[in-house]
Amino acid sequence: MVNKQYRKLFVAGIINGIGDRFCQIALLALIYQLTGSGLSVGIMLGLRVIPFLILSPVSGVLISSISRRTFMMTTDLLRGGAALAFLSVHSNEDMWIVYGVSTLLACGEALYAPARKSSIPLLEASYPRFLDHRPHLCSTPPVFSLQV
């Protein structure tokens, strides 16, 4: 990783990904602790998938119209602000907050991921240039990736 900008994007992606996974695990534990219901956990997981199916294809249009860096930073800052709403969850009656904010976080992630992945060819000089004309190779939503 010789390119300094690529290294920054790579490290930011790792930090972002770790934060997203910890958030998902914490949400699953919180929902199960509050409700004791597997159905509630399943609803939350379903609500996190829907934004990827809808927003990932649309994000390409947004990414091409503004700076990717500004777009990714704004998306992450908005997601961080939205995550603060979890601090107001104290009982089973607050599950609507969990579902709503979780969906908002998934919307942000669905917009962020294609922007980050489409930035890689622009930063890395050794990236094969013939792949630049194939955005679908760089913007596959994580919904279709292998989840272990």
pLDDT of residue 137: 47
Closest CA to 118 of 98, 141, 95, 96: 141
Angle between the N-to-C axes of helices 4-35 and 38-65, in degrees from 0 to 180, rounded to the nearest 10: 150
How far is 60 from 78, CA to CA, in rounded Å? 19
pLDDT of residue 144: 47
pLDDT of residue 124: 65
Contact 6, 124 (CB under 8 A): yes
- Would you call 3 exposed, middle or buried from its count of C-beta atoms within 10 A (0-12, 13-18, 19+)? middle
Q: What is the pLDDT of residues 69-104, one digit of tens each?
A: 888 888 888 988 999 999 999 888 989 999 999 999
Closest CA to 97 of 107, 105, 106, 89: 89
Q: What is the pLDDT of residues 5-34, one digit of tens each?
A: 878 878 888 888 898 889 889 999 999 999
Q: Distances in Å between the alpha carbon of 125 and those of 7, 87, 115, 117, 133? A: 12, 43, 18, 15, 15
Q: Distances in Å between the alpha carbon of 109 and those of 11, 72, 94, 133? A: 17, 10, 23, 24
**What's the pLDDT band for 145 if we cut at 50, 70, 90?**
very low
Task: With H, G, I as helix, E, B as strand and everything else as coil, classify residue 20.
Answer: helix
